[in-house]
């Protein structure tokens, strides 16, 4: 029996298997807080009504001891919708050694050292589950929109997002392989086979950014579609993000309550998104007191300023091509701009998505590859798509941990992935 299903067995016998994450005794009663992965429940052992062996076993329980319990399910005397187990039988599976994570406040470094155990705490449990819900929501939405999953490689011969953040790995007699920064270039190739597709997996950036929003290994979903142009690309992104919000509000109520997330803010974000051109965004930022100049990338503070009064995420579209990657398509009404967008979430969560229409003209793309100082031979296969039935196409990449951070309201991205990889952390 799973704890989450105990409501189906009120006044009946049930057996649950899990861990004791808290315990207290008072006289002839033992209160055991049990966690089984599916939920949390209080089990009560009454000395008067259990066999003496059961009571003896109780004395041996330590924090995180694993147990099998039998008992009768009762409704919680005060909390509606919660249940308790009146224990009749108890088996200790493994008596835990003294648990290093106590009830007192621990610093983040300490908790990160013990990440493999910290994952058991209710808050981390809730984050893991919201993360899973977001993954499900993304898969579900994309399939509804006729995208299929096509996996892209992790070992790659060339850069997708600039050569400065590549991790190199010695690769037999072929020199260096690079860990993928985004599968985009590969799924662009696959759209000529399946029309619409996406990948979803770990990507790597040797970024020296020690912020609350950067990991060196994170998960990205790249989506790409043939015959999708800029406008439709933005619409898809908005629909996806709003789908994620609704999915989590419906399926993660308990988790968001544990995380003390203000769900009203999320509800409000499920409304038409704001759109600003880069040009207007820069003007607005200057008005708001930023010292940003036209041609600069947006920093964390700028993103915060632009969204601080917005209840919904904000698209910043049509950036100068000089500060964006080689593959983005020029805006026909101003060739210095590209048909791209960054989607900035509310409440200071920062950029969730980067997307664009792709350059589909062979010569213009070749020119951009050369201008960026990239080796043409590395991109020949990518240029080939512009030789054999080139089509207008667009896509975008959403950062999973950024999205988890926004939906959960967690302060630091390191809690949004089970085992974070950062510049100064490779363990556990
Ligand atoms: O904006 P980015 O760099 O876009 C791309 O990689 C495109 N190739 C995607 C595409 O068009 N298919 O990255 C996409 C998203 C960002 O918006 C952000 O959410 C996340 O990936 N991201 C990071 N997340 C955590 N740590 C980092 N160091 C990240 N860098 C980017
Ligand atoms: Mg970006």
Q: What is the pLDDT of residues 41-74, one digit of tens each?
A: 999 999 999 999 999 999 999 999 999 999 999 9
- The span from the CA of 17 to the CA of 36, in Å, is 6
| Mean pLDDT of all residues belonging to the chain | 96
In the predicted structure, residue 162 carries a pLDDT above the cut 90: no
Under a CB-based contact definition with an 8 Å cutoff, are residues 343 and 274 in contact?
Answer: no
> pLDDT of 296-324, one tens digit each?
999 999 999 999 999 999 999 999 999 99
- The span from the CA of 312 to the CA of 220, in Å, is 22
- pTM value is 0.97
Q: Note the pLDDT of residue 163.
A: 84
> pLDDT of 321-336, one tens digit each?
999 999 999 999 999 9
Residues that place a CB less than 5 A from ion ligand 2: 354
- Probe ligand 1: pick from 402, 404, 420, max atoms within 8 Å of CB? 402
Ligand nearest 358 Cα, by number? 1
Q: Note the pLDDT of residue 166.
A: 94
* Contact 397 CB / ligand 1 (< 6 Å): yes
Q: How confident is the model at residue 277 (pLDDT cuts 50, 70, 90)?
A: very high
> pLDDT of 364-415, one tens digit each?
999 999 999 999 999 999 999 999 999 999 999 999 999 999 999 999 999 9
Tokens 């940003």 locate to 292
> pLDDT of 199-231, one tens digit each?
999 999 998 888 999 999 999 999 999 999 999
Question: Over pLDDT 70: what percentage of the chain?
Answer: 100
Residue 404 neighbours by CB under 8 Å, 6+ apart: 127, 130, 131, 134, 410, 416, 417
In ligand 1, which atom is closest to the CA atom of 403?
Answer: 19
Question: Domains plus CATH for the chain?
Answer: 3-94 (2.40.50.140), 115-416 (3.30.930.10)
In the predicted structure, residue 103 carries a pLDDT above the cut 80: no
């Amino acid at each position: 029996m799973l704890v989450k299903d105990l409501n189906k067995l009120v006044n009946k016998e049930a057996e649950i298997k899990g861990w004791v994450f808290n315990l207290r005794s008072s006289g002839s009663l033992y209160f055991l807080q049990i966690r089984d992965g599916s939920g949390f429940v209080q089990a009560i052992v009454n000395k008067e009504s259990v066999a003496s062996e059961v009571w003896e076993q109780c004395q041996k329980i330590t924090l995180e001891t694993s147990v099998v319990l039998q008992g009768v399910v009762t409704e919680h005397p005060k909390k509606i919708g919660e249940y308790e187990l009146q224990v009749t039988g108890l088996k200790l599976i493994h008596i835990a050694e003294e648990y290093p994570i106590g009830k007192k406040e621990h610093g983040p470094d300490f908790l990160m050292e013990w990440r493999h155990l910290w994952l058991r705490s209710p808050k981390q449990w809730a984050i893991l589950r919201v993360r899973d819900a977001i993954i499900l929501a993304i898969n579900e939405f994309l399939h509804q929109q006729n995208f299929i999953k096509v996996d892209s490689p992790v070992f790659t011969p060339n850069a997708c997002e600039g050569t400065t953040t590549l991790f190199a790995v010695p690769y037999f007699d072929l020199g260096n392989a690079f860990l993928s920064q985004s599968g985009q270039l590969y799924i662009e190739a696959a759209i000529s086979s399946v029309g619409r597709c996406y990948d979803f997996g770990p990507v790597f950036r040797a970024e020296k950014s020690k912020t609350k929003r950067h990991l060196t290994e994170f998960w990205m979903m790249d989506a790409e579609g043939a015959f999708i142009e800029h406008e439709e690309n933005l619409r898809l992104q908005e629909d996806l993000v709003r789908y994620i919000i609704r999915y989590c509000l419906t399926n993660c109520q308990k988790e968001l309550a544990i995380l003390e997330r203000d769900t009203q803010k999320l509800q409000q974000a499920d409304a038409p998104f704001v759109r600003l051109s880069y040009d207007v965004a820069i003007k607005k930022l200057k008005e708001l007191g930023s010292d940003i100049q036209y041609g600069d990338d947006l920093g964390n503070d700028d993103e915060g300023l632009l969204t601080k009064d917005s209840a919904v995420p904000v698209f910043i579209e049509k950036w100068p091509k000089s500060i964006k990657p080689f593959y983005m398509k020029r805006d026909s009404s101003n060739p210095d701009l590209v048909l791209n967008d960054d989607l900035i979430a509310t409440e200071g969560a920062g950029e969730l998505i980067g997307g664009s229409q792709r350059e589909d003209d062979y010569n213009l793309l070749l020119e951009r590859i050369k201008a960026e100082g990239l080796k043409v031979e590395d991109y020949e296969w990518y240029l080939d798509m512009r030789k054999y039935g080139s089509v207008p196409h667009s896509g975008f990449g959403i950062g999973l941990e950024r999205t988890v951070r926004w939906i959960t309201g967690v302060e630091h991205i390191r809690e949004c992935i089970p085992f974070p990889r950062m510049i100064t952390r490779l363990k556990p």
